[in-house]
Structure 1
C-alpha cells in the first residue's frame, strides 16, 4: 500500500512539473500584442494582462530588473502565491511633457473676471511670486493641491486643445502663456516647467501560471 501511494505521489509530482514546464515554454510563442490576445483567448483559465512600466513613474526593484530585460525575455518574481511571469513585449521611448497651470472655470466665473484673474497671476509671477503658490491660491481644480503641477504626460492623456497648445508650440522652459478652450469653458495660465523628454517605457505581459 505504501509503495502504491509513493508511486502515485511521484506520478502526480512529475505531471505537475511537466505541466509547469509546458506552460513556461508556451509563453515563448508570444512575441507581439496580437499574440497576447490570441493566447489569452485560447487559454481562458489563464490570468494575464499587459502592463506598462514607465522609467519616471516606476522606481521599484522589479521595474529596474524589467528595464534591463530584452524584448521577448521573461522571468518570474515571488510576488504572489502562484508563479507569475513577466514577459517583455515592447520597449520604446516616447515624448512626455510637463507644465504647471492655473485653471479657471468659465462655468462658474464670468470671462471678464477670468481674464482679469489671469493678468493678475501673470503680473504677480513676473514680480517674483512662485507659480506653485499662485496655483494653490487661484486654480479651480485638484492640481491646486500640488501647485498646479500636471506631472509627466504624453499626447492623448489630456484634453487635445490643451495638449496642442503645449506640444505644437515653440514655448520653451520658463515660458508663461494662456490657453483658452471655450467649448468646455476652460481657461488656463500655463508655465512650462520642463523641456520635452523622451521617457523609456516597457510593455510587459504579466501572466499567472494556472493551478493544476
Structure 2
C-alpha cells in the first residue's frame, strides 16, 4: 500500500510538473506571438504614414511607445546616425535592433532650404538721434577697416541681446523671418564681407551689417522615431 501511494504521489507530481511546463511553454509562445504581431502591426502602420500630421497622430495614439518626431539639419547634425538618415529618401525606413528593443526611423519630409547669415550692430533710434547714429556707424566702419573684429564691436556697441553673440544671427531662412530687418537682409544682394547700413524707420531701428556668409542651401529631414520593445 505504501509503495502504491509513493508511486501515485510521484505520478501526481509529474503530472503537475508537465502541466505547468506545458502552460509556461504555451504562455511563452503566446507572448512571443503577440510581440511578433505587434511588431508586424507597427511596421504596417508605419508604412501607411505619409504625412507629418499622420505621424503626429501616431505619436499621440501610441503613447505606450517611446516615439517622437524630430528634425535633422545637415549643417548642425554631424553624427553617424544623421549622416545615414540623410542618405535616405522620403518614405524610407531605417531599423536598428538592440537586446530588448527595436528602433525604427521613417523619413517624413526631406527639403532643401536657402539659409542666410550675417552679423550686425543694432542702434536704437529711440535712444539716439539719426544724426548721432550715422556718425557712430561711420566711426565703427573705420574701426573695422583698421582691424578691430566686427564681433568685438558688436559686443561693445550693439543695443540688443545679440551683442553677446558678437552680433551673429546664425543661419536663418525665410520661414524664420519675423521682422522687417531680416526680410531686408534676405532681399539684399550685397557681396560677402561687405559692411553696410540697414534702416528700419518704422520701428526706429538702425543697423550696421556685415555679410559674413554667402547664402547656403541646407538639407533638412523630419523623422519619426519609434522605439518598440522586443
TM-score of Structure 1 vs Structure 2, range by shorter chain: 0.7 to 0.9
Aligned residue for 1:12? 31
1:101 partnered with 2:126: no
Superposition deviation, residue 48 in structure 1: 4.3
Residue number in structure 1 paired with 2:135: 116
Pairwise CA distance, 1:78: 7.0
Which sections of structure 1, spanning at least 5 residues, go unmatched?
Answer: none
Equivalence map 1:55-134=2 (5 Å): 55-77=74-96, 83-134=102-153
Structure 1 or 2, whichever has the larger Rg, is: 2
**SS state of the match for residue 193, structure 1?**
coil
Q: Which residue in the other structure is 1:2 paired with? A: 21
Alpha-carbon RMSD across the aligned residues, in angstroms, is 2.6
Cα deviation, 1:90-129, whole Å, max 9, x if unaligned, reads 2221100111111123344444433332221122223332
Q: What residue in structure 2 maps to residue 51 of structure 1? A: 70
Whole-angstrom CA distance in 2 between matches of 1:159 and 1:176: 23
1:117-169: CA deviations, max 9, x gaps?
22211222233322122112111223322322111111132443112222112
- Say how many residue pairs are matched: 209
TM-score by length of 1: 0.84
Whether 1:161 aligns to 2:177 is no
Q: Distance in 2 between matches of 1:123 and 1:183?
A: 28
Q: 2-side partners of 1:8 and 1:73: how far apart?
A: 35
Q: 1:5 is paired with a residue of what secondary structure? A: helix
Alpha-carbon contact 2:123-2:159 (below 8 Å) kept = yes
Distance, in Å, in 2 between the alignment partners of 1:68 and 1:4 is 48
Secondary structure of the structure 1 residue equivalent to 2:50 = coil
Give, in whole Å, the separation in 2 of the partners of 1:24 and 1:208: 12
1:47 offset after TM fit, Å?
5.7
Residue 207 of structure 2, aligned match among 170, 176, 188: 188
3-state SS of the aligned residue for 1:171? coil
Identify unmatched segments of 5+ residues in structure 2: 1-19
Match of 2:169 in 1: 150
Distance 1:202 1:105 in 2: 38
**Aligned counterparts of 1:188 and 1:153: Cα–Cα separation in 2:** 18
